[in-house]
Structures are given as structure tokens and as C-alpha cells.
Chains A and B, each alone.
Chain A
């Protein structure tokens, strides 16, 4: 059954009108744009979309790209971080100039296999060292405009299906900022937790609710129908105990659990265009530690890499071919370590791109250097707008022809980081 919740001409038009709305600069914080026609079936691939599933991992708190993708060829890096610089001898992967933190070892096969790349010295157009407002700007991604929508929602407005399950904020029922706007999406805490309390064969709550909402105002009926339909679909998913493929073992972390559920949706061809997942606790103002087990940054990177490697293994080459994973963070960290063996808020950063069509095994971007004169107020400068990197992926892998509707005034980076479809 592949009837869309909104699989009707009305909705196609509505998607168009949503685009007009975006152009008009309307914005709202979250959720599903109300009136939909209830067919009670929530999962449906949009036949018009032939792009990659875009998986966005937000590294919350300010990820230190310099600890992850280490500029070992830049002596200023070691000078600035006498206690927490990662020695050359410990680095893995990388190239003549950069090396990866050994905590990322679980991802090394994807690096050497050319499916994982990094871009360095990326960031927002202007420094912003407030977590909150930098995160806000990162996800709004339209500085200098009054847009209040999230960029991913604008992408859905461009290529989306209008089906709420086209985009899933996995791991949370909170409104997701980057998905904020009129295009519908769903927040799912966990597929296995998407359960209606007390609903069972001899107590058919969901079925009764469907009947209670039959004559309800359209907007209420639409959401209730999406929920009861979604519950049915998720119940089908749950009915088959999920076993990750290819021997993949997910860590029992929030990130691992969320990625496992994203993989489930991808593998069941549920019509997913995009998923967002959060990875928290990167705000290391103190005791970041050396690159060894038991130390903060190393352990965090290891946990992140273990979850992401499990996700890639679980998908396997066939599914990975239509998936691109991007990591973003609100800002990088100060180049020089502080008095507490940690790092304060900075600017330029590294991002990872993983996928079946990534030209991996290398670090993209122009390196600005780390001497005092090359820094931006003590921080790594930004030579590539993060939106230009995402924009390149949207254009090459997700069928977004006109970036302006997603990132106003931004040109795709042209790094050649992915193979065009």
C-alpha cells in the first residue's frame, strides 16, 4: 500500500503554495502544516523524488574539528595545544597534512574505502560564539534575512512529497529547529516507543479514535489520521524484530538508537527523504584530554564513530548508495587550549560527509593556516561557508536545482565531494 496521506492533487498544489509561502518569508517553529486529507496511511515514497536520503547529524555544543581532523602539518597547532594536541604518531587515515583522531578508528574503513570525507575550515559566514544563537543561525541558515524557517524544511518545500514521514527528527518529539516551517515532518523518539498506551485487540483505542475524528475539523482530523496511520505502519515495522545487517552492532547510546531507527526506515523504503539526529555533549571547556581511552574527547569521538560506522555497515553498499550523511555543529573551538585543559568557543570547524557516492579519503576545503595573523580572533578562519558544502550535496545528490530557495544567495561550493547522480 503506497497511498500517501496527502496523495492527492490538492496536496501537490499545497506543496507548491507552501513554496510560495516560503518565498514570502513566513515562518513558524515546528510541525506539520495542518490540513491534510486523511487516508490513514502515513508511509509513502514520493515517486517524484529520486535523490539521496539526507541524514543530518548535529554535533551539539561546539564540535572541535581540530581534534577530530588534526592539521598535523601545521606546527602552530601543536604550539597552541601543548597538552591536548594529538601527536602525529597517533593519527590515522588522513593525508600528507591532516590526520584523523584515533578515536575515529571505527570509521577508518570508510575513509580508506573512499566513502567518508571531511571538509575543513567550514563554518557560518560570521563568527557567533553563543551556543544558542549560533545553533539558531546554523539551522535557519539565512543570515541577513527575516526567514524563520529551518533550511531543511525549505529543502522539503523544494523537493518534498508533502507526506509527514518524508522527514523524521529521530530521537525527539520536540519541534526540530532545522525542520521548522510549513513542510510536514515527524518527530519520533523511537520506533519501538511509538506505542499508544493501552491499545490492544480487545481495547482498540486507535481504531476508536479514528471514528471519533471522522467528522472533526480538517486540521485535527489530518493529524489524528497521520498518527493512527503512522502507528499502524510502525507496528508493522515493529512486528518484525529488527536485526541490523552485515553484523553491524549499534552502541546502546542515544545516537546509536536513533541511527538504528533511521536505517530501519531507509531499508523499508518508507519514503524518507531526510532524517535529523542529535549528538550532544561536545562543549568541552575543560579536561578535553589526550587521545586515549578514558579521556573525554577520545571517548566521545569513539562513541560517535562507533554509532556512525554501525549505521553504514547496517545499510551496506546497496542502501548506502542513496544515502548521504552530513555532520554539522554550531561552531568550532578556539585554537589555543585554555587554562583548564579545554577549549573555548571558536569559529572554523570540520564537517564529515559519508555516503555511497562520496569521494572520500580526503580532506576538502582551503586551509587558512593557524598563525596568529591567519586566525580570526584566535579561532580557525572559515574559508568555506557550510551552506555551500550542503548546497553542493543538495544539488548533486538531492535534486535541488535552485539553491536560492534553501540557502538564499549561496552558491554551491564546487568541491567535487560527491559524484553527481
Chain B
């Protein structure tokens, strides 16, 4: 079956429900629901490959990014995105300057506590980090970096905010950004020794006498090889990681040889004599290097990338191709992304992804082209609250597996209600009311006043969804105003004035915007 056919079947939906990112090939034998002759999802989206790339590699197309990719073409656009430091980012930087705590390192947070300017155990840096993540998703020009930072933040999840990582979570984000487009082996080793991860998965409390298995288990099950390891592997990994801890006095990473459990260990096909306590850290890093380049890890990582960028159930052929690219490049991610976005499978996957609540929120603001408020952070708190109410505040997922990335996990009527409500509220400028938007929404969205209701609906849809609605949809939307598509539109009609945001909202609710 093609991807688009698969998504129409219950099997496609259910199969995608394996723990996010895990390639659980399930032969469920579930019966396909007799799909009422619904068109394939691809029919709801524009076929333009540039828009397809924008919908997948960014948090959503916006007027300026559409213009940019048309100017550069796909390859040059992607090259630029893979070199984020070459991209000026004035709009996001301007907002981030209002969130100074979001960038603080562990030492800086503790120094401020010592100086009395920050509360010990306070959550303010973590809240600001959440707002900063949202700011970048909505307004950063370095979109691929943001998407990848989000992906790794979920793959190596450390809940933000959460009390135990009050002094280390912002620094953890800095670490992820540094490696987001680099090598997975570097990212994995940095995360293993980061106080936030050591705290979140309890390895800091793991001792020679009483190894804590939490990190060892998730390292194998979530961060690297996935299924296919044994309890003995978990226990051995946990023993090898004893001694990797956090200095209570400074909050920094520390290797405590006195707490390292020596003795030969075996984890999957990795073996280490682990004879000395002083050599424990090096042995642990050797295991991480081994795991990062393990074929099963390669499969998990590229599957996660494919689930994010291609389809809830990625084509096996693409996974096979990308596993080889990953291993040939010793876990470097940029070559994998180039191969992914250049693949035939990617090109054929239009409509195979559905926006998650957070992607929906970001895509809404981006396609509207509304700018951040000129001062303050209240508007960020409002937008963050919308993401939270829809179930997906950035970085806030509790369990270690990160937010799910498949449509089935988010297909919740109550979540959808929150989304339909924020579409209208944001578009109309009711809440948040301080985003910078055109003086006239109609002029800003479609330019000159269209002659008919049908033309108004079609132009607005093309502007917001990239594609004209079906005749049936246009008729339904005209009827909302008590009109037909052929009804002439007059400048003083409510539909061209105070009731225009309702059209924007309903189009943002439509299947063409729900799909990515």
C-alpha cells in the first residue's frame, strides 16, 4: 500500500501507535475500516514540493519563508538551514533578549542564587526556556535547527519545568542546540554526563552498592537500541554508569570513582573488563560510543526522523537507505537529513503527517505572518498556555519517551476543541491581542476586496492552506454567511470586516491545515 492509502486504514492508524519513534512492526491483522470514498490526504494539500518541504522541515510555512524557498530552491534552502549560524535571526533574538534566564548555565544560576537575585529551586529560568522554545518555533529563521532541537529534546527528554532540574534544564537546552545538527554520538555522550539527565533519570543517585537502573534502562530502551536488550543488559549498563554523578555543592557533572562498580560487564555485543574505578568513566563513554553506532540505534534514530518528517509509518525502503547513511557517516545527522529530504519516499509523502497541537499553534502564527508583541512576554505566556491546554506545552512532557509524534496519539476531541478555539482567537487578534498584525486583516491576507464570496473564500484558503477548498467546502463556508459562492461581496459586508476572522479560523480548522 502507498503511504497515503495506509493512513486511511485503521491498521495504518493503529500501527503508528507504537511508542513514538519506535519501529514496532506490528502485524495486528486489524481489519481496515471501510473508508468512505474519501480522497487521499494528499488531495487536501498543494502538490508543490517546496511547500511540502517547508511544512515538514519547519514549524510551518509563513509568507516570508515561502518567498525565500521560491528564491533559493530546495537544495540551497536546505544547505542554508543546515548551517544555522550563517542565518541572521533578528526577530527571534529581539524576543529572546526579554528572556535572559532561558540561556543561563548551571554556574550562572547558582551565582545568582548566591547573590540573592534568583530564588533557589526557582522555576523562572525553566518557564523562560519554555517561552524561548515557543518564540523560536514561531519566529526564528533557523527553523530546521528548531525542529531538530525539539526532536532531540523529546528523544532525550528531561521534563521542563520540573523541580529536580531547576538549575540544569536551561543548560541542557544549550547542550542539545549545540549538537542538534551534529553527531548523535556526541549528543548522547553529552546528555549522559549532563546534570539534568543524571538527575532526571536518577543516575546521580546510582551507587556501587545500589545501582539505580533508571538511566541504564532508558538509555537502551529509548535513547539507543530500543527493544531487543535483556534485563541483564540493563543491569550491566546501570553498573557501568555508577559514579557518573552530580556534585552536590556545585551542581556540575562529576565522576566519582569511589562509587563506580568495577568488574567485567557485557551489554548486547559490547564487552568491557572494567577493572579499575578510575577507568569507569572512560568505559561508560566507550559503551555510549558503541551504542550510538549500533545498527539498532541507527534504525531507531532514522525511524524517529522519518516519523517526524515523512510519515507515521515510514516506508521500510527509506529506513534501510537512511540506516546506511547514518552508519557510513558515523552518526552525523546532516547527511541523513539531506538524504531524507532528497528521497523519492519523502517526495511521495504529501499529506501523510498530521500536525500535533504544538505544530498547529506554531503553524497558525507563522502562516498568519503575525509578529511578536513589541514588548513584554505576556503574549508568550498566553501562547504557551494555549499549547499547554491543547496538551503539548513545549518541553513539558513528563515520561522519558518524549511527546508522541503520531497522529493517533493526538486525535482527541478535547484537544481539537482547544485548537479550533485558538485558531479563531489568534487570527482575530482577541487573544493574545498584542501580536503585530495587519491593520486590515482582509487586505493583509488577500489584498484587494474580492468580487464574490466564493473568491474571498478561495483566496483566503490559498493564502492560509496553500490550496483552494473543494466546491462543497466553498459552498459550506459561503452559507455560514448566509450567502452562495456567487454572491457579490461588498466592502461593508460583515464577511469583509468584523466577521472575516471567522473565515480565517474555519480555514485553519479545515483538513488542509490539519495535515502537514
Stretch of B37-45, B178-186, B272-280 with 4 or more beta carbons under 8 angstroms from chain A? B37-45
B421 touches A197 (CB 8 A): yes
User: Most chain-B CB neighbours within 10 Å: which of A10, A133, A174, A219?
Assistant: A219
Q: How far is the CB of A145 from chain B (nearest CB, A)?
A: 11
Q: How far is the CB of A179 from chain B (nearest CB, A)?
A: 10
**Quick one: given A209-B506, A217-B41, are A13 and B389 in contact (CB under 8 Å)?**
no
Contact of B420 among A130, A188, A196 (CB under 8 A): A196
The reply on A146 being an interface residue by CB < 8 A is yes
B404 touches A30 (CB 8 A): yes
Residues B32-60 near A (CB distance < 8 A): 33-36, 38-41, 44
Residues on A with C-beta less than 8 A from B515 are 217, 220
CA distance A35 to B10 in the complex (A): 6
Interface residues on A, range: 35 or more
CA distance A212 to B44 in the complex (A): 11
Residues on A with C-beta less than 8 A from B381 are none
**Quick one: given A21-B14, A24-B28, A148-B401, are A187 and B414 in contact (CB under 8 Å)?**
yes
Q: How far is the CB of B246 from chain A (nearest CB, A)?
A: 14
A173 touches B411 (CB 8 A): no
Residues A1-53 near B (CB distance < 8 A): 10, 13-14, 17-18, 20-21, 24-35, 37, 42
The reply on A367 being an interface residue by CB < 8 A is no
A209 touches B420 (CB 8 A): yes
CA distance A148 to B479 in the complex (A): 46
Residues on A with C-beta less than 8 A from B40 are 217
CA distance A288 to B430 in the complex (A): 43
CA distance A186 to B411 in the complex (A): 10
Residues on B with C-beta less than 8 A from A219 are 7, 13, 354, 407-408, 411
**Quick one: given A24-B26, A30-B409, A135-B398, are A218 and B36 in contact (CB under 8 Å)?**
yes
Residues B443-482 near A (CB distance < 8 A): 469-470, 472-473, 476-477, 479-480
The reply on B514 being an interface residue by CB < 8 A is yes
Q: How far is the CB of B318 from chain A (nearest CB, A)?
A: 21
CA distance A214 to B471 in the complex (A): 12
CA distance A174 to B409 in the complex (A): 11
Q: How far is the CB of A416 from chain B (nearest CB, A)?
A: 35
Residues on A with C-beta less than 8 A from B8 are 35, 217-218
Contact of A31 among B164, B201, B411, B514 (CB under 8 A): B411
Q: How far is the CB of A31 from chain B (nearest CB, A)?
A: 4
List the B residue with the shortest CB-CB distance to A225. Answer: B413
CA distance A229 to B290 in the complex (A): 52
CA distance A182 to B13 in the complex (A): 10
B33 touches A133 (CB 8 A): no
**Quick one: given A26-B19, A203-B480, are A34 and B399 in contact (CB under 8 Å)?**
no
The reply on B511 being an interface residue by CB < 8 A is yes
A33 touches B473 (CB 8 A): no
- CB-defined interface of A192-227 with B at 8 Å, one 1/0 digit per residue? 001011100001110011011111111111111011
A33 touches B414 (CB 8 A): no
Contact of A216 among B38, B411, B477 (CB under 8 A): B38
The reply on A189 being an interface residue by CB < 8 A is yes
- CB-defined interface of A162-201 with B at 8 Å, one 1/0 digit per residue? 0010000000011101000010001111000010111000
A28 touches B20 (CB 8 A): yes
List the B residue with the shortest CB-CB distance to A16. Answer: B30
B14 touches A226 (CB 8 A): no
- CB-defined interface of B497-516 with A at 8 Å, one 1/0 digit per residue? 00100100110011100110
B417 touches A222 (CB 8 A): no
Residues B342-395 near A (CB distance < 8 A): 351, 354, 388-391
The reply on B17 being an interface residue by CB < 8 A is yes
Contact of B408 among A17, A33, A203, A230 (CB under 8 A): A33
B18 touches A27 (CB 8 A): yes
The reply on B174 being an interface residue by CB < 8 A is no
Interface residues on B, range: 35 or more
List the A residue with the shortest CB-CB distance to B509. Answer: A209
Residues on B with C-beta less than 8 A from A33 are 10, 13-14, 17, 408, 411
**Quick one: given A197-B421, A208-B476, are A27 and B19 in contact (CB under 8 Å)?**
yes
Residues on B with C-beta less than 8 A from A266 are none
B38 touches A31 (CB 8 A): no
B44 touches A216 (CB 8 A): yes
The reply on A231 being an interface residue by CB < 8 A is yes
**Quick one: given A33-B14, A135-B398, are A189 and B414 in contact (CB under 8 Å)?**
yes
Residues on A with C-beta less than 8 A from B425 are 197
A175 touches B44 (CB 8 A): no
The reply on A132 being an interface residue by CB < 8 A is yes
B33 touches A187 (CB 8 A): no
CA distance A54 to B420 in the complex (A): 31
CA distance A181 to B35 in the complex (A): 23
The reply on B418 being an interface residue by CB < 8 A is yes
B412 touches A31 (CB 8 A): yes
B470 touches A215 (CB 8 A): yes
B18 touches A218 (CB 8 A): no
Q: How far is the CB of A289 from chain B (nearest CB, A)?
A: 21
The reply on B262 being an interface residue by CB < 8 A is no
A-B contact pairs, 12 of them (CB 8 A): A10-B10, A24-B28, A26-B17, A26-B19, A30-B391, A35-B10, A182-B408, A187-B415, A208-B476, A212-B469, A217-B44, A221-B38
Residues of A within 8 A of B (CB): 10, 13-14, 17-18, 20-21, 24-35, 37, 42, 130, 132-133, 135-136, 144, 146, 148, 164, 173-175, 177, 182, 186-189, 194, 196-198, 203-205, 208-209, 211-224, 226-227, 230-231
Task: Please name 11 further chain A to chain B contacts, defined as beta carbons within 8 Å, in addition to the given A29-B19, A218-B33, sorted by A numbering.
Answer: A28-B19, A34-B408, A35-B10, A35-B13, A136-B398, A173-B418, A186-B413, A196-B417, A205-B502, A217-B40, A227-B414
State the 10 A-B residue pairs at the shortest beta-carbon distance, nearest first.
Answer: A17-B30, A34-B13, A211-B476, A216-B511, A227-B413, A226-B413, A28-B17, A29-B404, A197-B421, A31-B412
